[in-house]
Homo-oligomer: A and B are copies of this chain.
Amino acid sequence: SSTDDTRGSEPKVLSNSIFAPLDTFSRRHIGPNAQTAEEMLQALDPPAKSLDEFVKTVLPAEILSSKDLQVEGPVPESGSMPTSEGGYSESQLLARLREIAGENKVYKSYIGCGYAGTRVPEVIKRNVLENPAWYTSYTPYQPEISQGRLESLLNFQTMVTDLTGMTIANASVLDEPTAAAEAMTLSLNALPASRQKRANKTYVVSHLCHPQTIAVLESRASGFGITIKVADVLEDGSKVVNDVGEDLIGVLAQYPDTLGGVEDFRNLADKVHELKGTFSVGTDLLALTLLTPPGEFGADVAFGNAQRFGVPFGFGGPHAAFFAVGDKHKRKIPGRLVGLSKDRLGSPAARLALQTREQHIRREKATSNICTAQALLANMNAMYAVYHGPGGLKRIAEKVAKMAQVLARALEDAGLEVQKPGFDTVIVKKHEPGLFAQKVAQLSLINFRVVDDEHIGITLDETVGRKQMEEILRAFTTDTVDVEHIAAQLDASVAVPESLRRTSAFLTHPVFNSHHSETEILRYMHHLQSKDLSLVHSMIPLGSCTMKLNATTEMVPISWPEFANIHPFAPSDQTMGYAQLIKELEEDLSEITGFHSVSLQPNSGAQGEFTGLRVIRKYLEEQPGKKRDICLIPVSAHGTNPASAAMAGMRVVTIKCESKTGNLDMEDLKAKCEKYSEELGAIMITYPSTFGVFEPQVKEACELVHKHGGQVYMDGANMNAQIGLCTPGEIGADVCHLNLHKTFCIPHGGGGPGVGPIGVAEHLSPFLPGHPLVEGVGGSKGIAPVSGAPWGSASILPISWAYIKMMGARGLTHATKITLLNANYILSRLKPHYPILYTNEQGRCAHEFILDVRKFKETSGIEAIDVAKRLQDYGFHAPTMSWPVANTLMIEPTESESKAELDRFCDALISIRQEIKEIEDGTQPKDGNVMKLAPHSMKDLICGEWDRPYGREKAAYPLPWLKEKKFWPSVARLDDAYGDMNLFCSCAPVDSIEGITGKEAPMPT
């Protein structure tokens, strides 16, 4: 059983074979070793005799799994024993992964369709993508220790607004098709209430949008009761729009379109606006360096994939999509928005703006559930723009556009029928294009797009040179074509239709015009990095976020070309390595969750929720009886839960929690189940609960819901507390999403990427999402896709695969035990100093717990935010603040933190408790004390005058080790209200003398 002592104890480093590898992983991943774990068990309150005895006090007996976890380990050499951990050693893992990678074939892909080849500048790859200081940080919720990535995301937003010509852009969304979906729901939301309620409300989508965009729109539309009408939006003076009339939500067009055409949408925009609809445009940032931007021809929303700005194909992702709106919609923009504000000292500083719009507040009224986005990739895109500057980007665009012209001309010269390219894509008429593309792939190792039954598409990019061009031409003609000659003959300006030539300037801010030498950009990246706290500095104890080690060996493979340089729609015989890895990962995740099958398509937890609920709904539709669209959600649920439920078209009914234990109020649940018995669709529960406790009645709750015909959706954000000890499947869930970016070591990247796969029970498997362009994805009756790429953010899956394979079943299970131990160790150390909000009957928490600081408001005026900010002075990131309970702090250490680090953290909180006491005692005043003025930046302390009731040393060095290891917040406490009132979301005006921002954030333009 899972608490079997042999299996439960620390995995041995050595098997008894002298040949066993010594570079075993789990002891590197897990902070405490056997000896410190022992010390910690003894320090618990109450103490525990052994790890397994301890686990029994944490998990209800009926939850504990009856089976041992099984994870396929390295093939043992003939006759030899596997290592006792069962997992791959680091070098074995890399060797195996090299083999798998070798099964992928890296052909040149001209498939286009929303993805284009790009050159990742090596200096950006090494210093951002491969740099733990960038990839291990969290979403910048604590702006004082996140100014680096906030500035970079401001650059991203500026790049997007400048290039699209829109007013405001957010800090990325998940991918281009979901961005389209966000545009659609924003359009809906922008309608007057009466029109939102119309039965036939219709969203008109150009037939020249990418097929995966249309498919994802379909999946998103159904929950909102929207009809999607795919049509030629320009035909007959945009007749289709007129036809829809008052039912119109808006129109979506693409520019350049999926066939490479560039059309003038000015009249269309007017028409949409006349009908009070919203006009959205999918577009391409590179093209916009040459083309009139959407903001100049009437678009209300512009979005697209920023991938070709320095992020590789990655077999579909992760990539940052961008999303920008005009002035009218600027407070409706979904996702995270970085804005300028100022700090306590009046210095400009960036932070996440309009956080009040988050799902936690709006809950089921939210029209978007986006939480984790694509920050790391957005930062790469922004750096790409900083590195190339406006001139460099334009040169790239011109090269691409001219090459497309040359290609078209050359093909015409060879007698082919060609559609005149608008930017980078050439469409050629070709008999049996499928067979042709296959043959070309085999012979020339290049991929074309099979557009339809009679056309081939070829999309060019910055990696194409003469040699590649000649290769492409050789596929069509045996004649030797002198491409230089053709190029020389082309009019320099033919590349872009005259009427749509861009005239406005872009990226004029100095940040895009200063860092063009490698030395300069290197220093710029490192300067930004130096402002940000990440896992390279200290524990990030964010409850519900699982900030564990992202090991180098897990990260290394994502830079390999065999994973990075594969187009998502590459033929399947070129992606056998990916297929193998995906199969193994799906199997392992199925085993870990106790489910029948897994879909890796959703690229965030929230997307997983939406997907899972859509799967449930599709299943329920096939069941007899009434429409089951009620979704029960406990009050304690994460805000994405009700948002996702609403997006899936469900009506949310709230379930209470017991105020004393935090557990689900079983009476209320029973009552609601009965009340809605015939319409009950699902319950969404988080396990262990968002309060950090393994609720004893979870099985009962599942049974109850099942009895009433509902399905059980488990939010797997807390899966790190379960692995190897229990499974959602055995507990009784039907679906569960996992956050690979929490539990399975994909780094948070400063706010994404993420992967949110769902595991489902057998009866739901047929409904897993498919894909319009790729076969073999999802179930036989699969729902429409939820991501543009068949397997979502495929290129980061090796990280989670590697984690599971290196930990092995024993390592994974041991990690879970230590994760529980670590949380309970902190709890035990802090209990004498702070109230703990919830524990189970044995006084234990799960992998996280809530520190209750609410009473200090009365005794000293101190609130959770003051504790959070003061922790920065101690070198720590704050725990999760005010969620799931307002004005409390939720602490999750993960298994990767050592006892020494946990002790440093406890010492800091205990010292802070002392500081609160001084205020309670009256030794320190209620205002202007060291906590209210926290955090202290260097600038704050290095000033001439000092009139505070505490000394500079106390501010900076409250504990002795800080003198050796001090992380400095780069600004003082942010003024959030100011920033939200004065929304300004691009690079600061130049007249600023310091820092990234203007002296004062000006009013938005």
Contact = CB atoms under 8 A, between A and B. Distances in A.
Interface in A556-612: 556
A512 to B, nearest CB: 15
A780 interface: no
Contact of A896 (B79, B516, B519): B519
Give the interface size class of chain A.
35 or more
Interface in A441-495: 462-467, 469-470, 482-484, 487
Interface string A961-996: 101111010000000000000000000000001110
A34 interface: no
A744 B897 CA distance: 42
A957 B897 CA distance: 37
B900 A514 contact: yes
Given A31-B520, A127-B552, A523-B535, 12 more contacts: A21-B465, A22-B395, A23-B119, A33-B516, A80-B466, A91-B463, A122-B551, A131-B131, A517-B896, A520-B900, A523-B538, A942-B953
A944 B957 CA distance: 12
A635 interface: no
Interface in A893-936: 896-898, 900-901
A518 B19 contact: no
Given A951-B944, A957-B942, A535 B519 contact: yes
A494 to B, nearest CB: 12
Given A469-B19, A956-B938, A122 B30 contact: no
A123 interface: yes
A944 B956 CA distance: 11
A656 interface: no
A27 interface: yes
A898 B469 CA distance: 37
Contact of A943 (B127, B514, B901, B953): B953
8 contacts: A31-B519, A33-B516, A125-B552, A514-B900, A522-B536, A523-B537, A939-B963, A942-B957
Interface stretch (A171-179, A268-276, A399-407): A399-407
Contact of A19 (B484, B527, B536): B484
Interface stretch (A10-18, A61-69, A245-253, A825-833): A10-18
Nearest to A347: B963
Contact of A537 (B399, B526, B952): B526
A943 B551 CA distance: 39
Contacts of A126: 130, 132, 552, 555-556
Contacts of A463: 91
Contacts of A482: 79
A90 interface: yes
A14 B961 CA distance: 54
A30 B469 CA distance: 31
Q: Which 6 A-B pairs have the closest CB atoms?
A: A19-B466, A122-B552, A526-B536, A123-B552, A28-B518, A122-B553
A467 B79 contact: no
A960 interface: yes
Contacts of A133: 526
A407 to B, nearest CB: 11
A90 to B, nearest CB: 6
Contacts of A399: 18-19, 22
A517 B27 contact: yes
A694 to B, nearest CB: 26
A539 B183 CA distance: 47
A462 B123 CA distance: 33
Contacts of A941: 941-942
B31 A517 contact: yes
A487 B90 contact: no
B466 A77 contact: yes
Contacts of A518: 28-29, 549, 551-552, 896
B939 A943 contact: no
Contacts of A17: 466, 484, 487
State the number of copies, please. 2
Given A19-B403, A939-B963, A951-B944, A536 B517 contact: no
A961 B123 CA distance: 25
Contacts of A901: 519-520
Contacts of A484: 17, 19, 79-80
A190 interface: no
A396 interface: yes
Given A519-B549, A523-B537, A942-B952, A132 B127 contact: yes
Contacts of A90: 119, 121-122
A346 interface: no
A130 B132 contact: no
A403 B522 CA distance: 46
Contacts of A31: 517, 519-520
A541 B116 CA distance: 42
Contacts of A1004: none
Given A77-B467, A522-B535, A517 B130 contact: no
Interface string A308-320: 0000000000000
A949 interface: no
A519 B897 contact: yes
A467 B20 CA distance: 11
Interface in A866-913: 896-898, 900-901
Contacts of A964: 994-995
Given A467-B77, A519-B897, A938 B961 contact: no
B465 A19 contact: yes
A843 interface: no
A392 interface: yes
Contacts of A28: 516-518
A536 B516 contact: no
B526 A19 contact: no
Contacts of A555: 126
Contacts of A119: 23, 90-91
A937 to B, nearest CB: 10
B942 A22 contact: no
A406 B13 contact: no
A983 to B, nearest CB: 24
Interface in A275-320: none
A408 to B, nearest CB: 14
Interface string A1-43: 0000000000001100111111100011111010000000000
Q: Considering residues A402, A464, A526, which has the most beta carbons from chain B within 10 angstroms of its beta carbon?
A: A526
A653 to B, nearest CB: 42
Given A132-B127, A536-B523, A14 B514 contact: no
Interface in A619-636: none
A874 to B, nearest CB: 15
A526 B552 CA distance: 14
Interface string A112-128: 00000001011101110
Given A484-B17, A536-B526, A898 B395 contact: no
A133 B134 CA distance: 14
A678 to B, nearest CB: 52
Contact of A994 (B396, B522, B961): B961
A91 to B, nearest CB: 6
Interface string A202-245: 00000000000000000000000000000000000000000000
Contacts of A520: 31, 898, 900-901
A376 to B, nearest CB: 16
